[in-house]
C-alpha cells in the first residue's frame, strides 16, 4: 500500500469514525515524541524549519531582504511566463 493511499484511508476513516476512536487515534499521535507539541500548536514543522522561518521573518521585518506585494508578484509571474513561453 502506498503512502498516499494510506493517508486517503486515514482521512476517510477519521471523517467517519465515532468520537471514541478519533480520540484514541489522537492520543496515539499526541504521545509520539516525534510530534511533541506540534498538534497543540497546529504546526507541522520541525525545529530546524521553524528556525529558518523565524530568521526569514526577522529579515523581512528589518527590511534586509526585498519583498513584493501581491500585485507585484502577479506581474513578475506574468513576465516570467511570457518570457519562458509558459
List the grid coordinates of 51: 528556525
Q: What is the spatial distance between Cα 60 and Cα 53, in angstroms, rounded to a whole number?
A: 11
pTM of the model: 0.39
3-state secondary structure 43-61: CCCCHHHHHHHHHHHHHHH
List the grid coordinates of 17: 469514525
pLDDT digits (tens, 9 = 90+) for 27-76: 887 776 666 665 556 667 778 888 999 999 999 999 999 999 999 999 99
Query: What does the pLDDT read at residue 68?
Result: 92
Instruction: Tell me what percent of the chain is helix, strand and coil, each rounded to the nearest 5.
Output: 75, 0, 25
Amino acid at each position: 500500500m502506498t503512502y498516499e493511499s494510506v493517508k486517503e484511508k486515514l482521512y476517510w476513516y477519521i471523517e467517519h469514525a465515532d468520537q471514541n476512536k478519533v480520540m484514541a487515534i489522537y492520543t496515539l499521535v499526541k504521545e509520539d515524541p516525534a510530534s511533541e507539541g506540534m498538534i497543540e500548536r497546529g504546526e507541522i514543522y520541525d525545529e530546524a524549519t521553524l528556525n529558518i522561518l523565524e530568521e526569514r521573518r526577522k529579515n523581512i521585518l528589518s527590511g534586509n531582504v526585498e519583498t513584493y506585494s501581491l500585485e507585484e508578484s502577479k506581474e513578475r509571474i506574468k513576465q516570467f511566463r511570457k518570457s519562458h513561453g509558459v
